[in-house]
Amino acid sequence: MDKMVIEGGFPLVGEVSIGGSKNASLPIIVSSIMFDEFDSEIDNVPGLEDIKTIKKLLTSLGAEIKESDEPDKLVINTSGINNYDAPYDLVKTMRASVLVLGPLVAKYKKARVSLPGGCAIGARPIDFHLNALRSLGAVVEVDHGYVEVHADKLKGAVINFPIPTVTGTENIIMAATLAEGTTIIKNAAMEPEVDDMIFALNNGGADIKRVEQSIIVVNGVKKLRRLCHRVLPDRIEAGTFMTASAITKGDIVLKNINVQHLKAIIDKLSEAGAKIIINSSSQLRVKGSKAIKSVDISTAPYPNFPTDMQAQMMALMTLSGGLCVVTENVFENRFMHVAELIRLGANIKVRNNFAIVKGVQKLSGAEVMATDLRASASLILAGLASSDGLTTVSRIYHLDRGYEKMEEKLSNLGAIISRVKENDIPVVDEPDFNGSACSKSA
Ligand code: EPU
């Protein structure tokens, strides 16, 4: 197992290029299941552990992932799919594996997928996905830890999600794409990653429209043509580097981003004192302020402040000049980074779903442990800002699920950071809040 060693206290300066979005790549890659006539071509796919897992899952179903000269391009042939099972071993490493439910049922009218179970950041059930599939006419049974879905045919229906769910919306859009008739999805997720998948499917022959902000209409089609898509930039990777500039009082230019998707993050970082200069729709510059201002943060579905940036923003707030409240409204257990930030000298108290952060003069290097993907990013940022002593972040495999070449990108900006092998006895399973093994988050 690797850990990251950081000597902090230096401003990060320079340019960084942001990769393709993890959370858009995953549904688009699995949607290739519905395009079996031609090879699917997907560009700007980041080189992440989660992408390796979804490729493994597709291969296990019988798809062929072809070699491509371009490292961020995937070419997938799904004509050989002959297995409809997503086994526990794969789903337990990445819960987004449940995204195969929609396309498998749409195309083959059957799927058997392991229930993902709880995870470090919350219980994260998939009941909304399953109820929506039932509404489309599928028979859904849960037995021995597996969800089994089958349908003679899927028929359009009105689906009203109790709260917006990102992967739930994606799963049901895919299931409805080849269904008979029209499906109306109310209270649908509004995240840009959902729209990127819709764009990819429509280009391939689907008929999907977002008729109002939170209402999506899917007119089922008989057949799809060809999937050929370039994935949108990762707004959370972008937000993480923007926060890296703010917390180190640096000056970073981010390239290959979609500025439009970063509004909530730009607003909060500006309130916190960072100067944000928008150079174009795909490039911006963040100049950190000498004095970080305290700002309250409250997470909610897009277009509000993303839960996937809460931990990183909290790291910034630990060095602010005052007191602020960070409220987590999406996941019930997404404060695992707090205890680790405290080890670095932060002053934070958690009460139910909010944390009170009182800014301190400085953070000091310490040994800390990553508990999930975004918590690891938060600890790296805090380590970069720790002005005295080394910080080592262990269990860095969480980071590799969602950030490509993080230490290389940070080193290019002047950070003193290196990846080393851990001498400790490797910890394979870690307890989640229920006491069962779990290392997944996304
Ligand atoms: N929920 C239910 N039942 C369901 C589905 C969701 O109760 O059937 C609840 C969840 O427990 C949660 C809320 O609804 O409290 C919203 O969860 P959502 O379904 O939107 O989350 P998700 O689709 O499982 C995606 C991202 C997460 C991101 C969330 C929220 C992917 C692959 N994952 O998860 O990304 O935090 O949306 O924006 O798209 C990450 O990248 O670090 C990550 C965790």
Q: Model confidence over 42-66: pLDDT tens digits? A: 999 999 999 999 999 999 999 999 9
337 — phi, psi (to 5°)? -75, -20
Mean pLDDT (the chain) is: 94
Q: Is the pLDDT of residue 118 over 80?
A: no
Q: Is the pLDDT of residue 151 over 70?
A: yes
The Å distance, Cα 124 to ligand 1 centre, comes to 7
8 Å CB contact between 30 and 203: no
Q: Ligand 1 atom 35: the closest Cα is on which residue?
A: 442
Q: What number of helices (H) and strands (E) belong to the chain? A: 14, 24
Work out the number of other CB atoms within 10 angstroms of the CB of residue 230.
Answer: 16
CA atoms of 385 and 319, how far apart (whole Å): 9
CA atoms of 186 and 160, how far apart (whole Å): 5
Is the model's pTM score more than 0.75? yes
Structure tokens at 290: 């000498």
Q: What is the pLDDT of residue 359?
A: 98
Q: Ligand 1 atom 29: the closest Cα is on which residue?
A: 166
8 Å CB contact between 6 and 391: yes
8 Å CB contact between 170 and 99: yes
Residues 6 or more apart in contact with residue 141 via CB below 8 angstroms: 147, 148, 149
8 Å CB contact between 47 and 71: yes
Q: Is the pLDDT of residue 209 over 90?
A: yes
CA atoms of 119 and 433, how far apart (whole Å): 8
Give residues (CB < 6 A) around ligand 1. Answer: 23, 26, 96, 122, 124-129, 163, 165-168, 189, 307-308, 330-331, 373-374, 402, 441-442
pLDDT interval class at 333 (50, 70, 90): confident
Averaged pLDDT, 405-425: 89
Q: Which of 22, 49, 124, 126 is the pocket-test mutation for ligand 1 (most atoms within 8 Å of CB)?
A: 124
**Which long-range contacts link 404-412 to residues 24+ away (Cβ below 8 Å)?**
404/19, 404/46, 404/47, 404/48, 404/237, 405/47, 406/377, 406/380, 407/4, 409/16, 409/17, 409/241, 410/12, 410/244, 410/380, 410/384, 412/14, 412/16
8 Å CB contact between 295 and 357: no
DSSP state letter for 109: S
The Å distance, Cα 226 to ligand 1 centre, comes to 28
Residues 6 or more apart in contact with residue 183 via CB below 8 angstroms: 136, 156, 157, 158, 159, 172, 176, 217, 218, 220
8 Å CB contact between 163 and 187: yes
If DSSP codes are grouped into helix, strand and coil, which group holds residue 227?
Answer: coil
The Å distance, Cα 235 to ligand 1 centre, comes to 16
Q: Ligand 1 atom 6: the closest Cα is on which residue?
A: 165
What's the burial of 214, exposed, middle or buried (CB within 10 Å: 0-12/13-18/19+)? middle
The Å distance, Cα 166 to ligand 1 centre, comes to 6
Q: Is the pLDDT of residue 305 over 60?
A: yes
Q: Ligand 1 atom 36: the closest Cα is on which residue?
A: 308
Q: What is the pLDDT of residue 432?
A: 40
Q: Return the percentage of the chain with pLDDT > 90, whole number.
A: 91
Span of 87-96, 253-262, 310-319 with lowest mean pLDDT = 87-96
CA atoms of 68 and 70, how far apart (whole Å): 5
Q: Ligand 1 atom 2: the closest Cα is on which residue?
A: 125
Q: Ligand 1 atom 25: the closest Cα is on which residue?
A: 166
User: Is position 438 annotated as part of the catalytic site?
Assistant: no
Q: Is the pLDDT of residue 133 over 60?
A: yes
The Å distance, Cα 142 to ligand 1 centre, comes to 20
CA atoms of 277 and 170, how far apart (whole Å): 33
- Given the residues 119, 228, 324, 438, the one annotated as active site: 119
Span of 7-21, 115-129, 190-204, 234-248 with lowest mean pLDDT = 115-129
Q: Ligand 1 atom 33: the closest Cα is on which residue?
A: 442
8 Å CB contact between 316 and 357: no
CA atoms of 129 and 144, how far apart (whole Å): 19
Work out the number of other CB atoms within 10 angstroms of the CB of residue 259.
Answer: 19
Q: Is the pLDDT of residue 161 over 60?
A: yes
The Å distance, Cα 37 to ligand 1 centre, comes to 32
Q: Return the percentage of the chain with pLDDT > 70, whole number.
A: 95
The Å distance, Cα 301 to ligand 1 centre, comes to 9
Q: Which of 30, 53, 167 is the pocket-test mutation for ligand 1 (most atoms within 8 Å of CB)?
A: 167
Averaged pLDDT, 167-181: 98
| Residue type for position 314 | M
The Å distance, Cα 121 to ligand 1 centre, comes to 10
Residue of 375, 435, 433 whose CA lies nearest to 401:
375
Q: Which of 166, 196, 438 is the pocket-test mutation for ligand 1 (most atoms within 8 Å of CB)?
A: 166
8 Å CB contact between 75 and 68: yes
CA atoms of 183 and 215, how far apart (whole Å): 10
Beta sheet of 207-212, edge-to-edge order: 158-160, 182-186, 215-219, 207-212
Q: What is the pLDDT of residue 442?
A: 60
Strand pairing report for 347-351 and 215-219: unpaired
If DSSP codes are grouped into helix, strand and coil, which group holds residue 317?
Answer: helix
Q: What is the pLDDT of residue 423?
A: 66
Q: What is the pLDDT of residue 436?
A: 34
Q: CA quadruple 307, 309, 312, 318: dihedral positive or negative?
A: negative
Structure tokens at 74: 């995937």
Q: Ligand 1 atom 11: the closest Cα is on which residue?
A: 124
CA 126 from chain centre, in angstroms, equals 17
Span of 86-100, 255-269, 298-312 with lowest mean pLDDT = 86-100
Which atom of ligand 1 lies closest to the CA of 124? 11
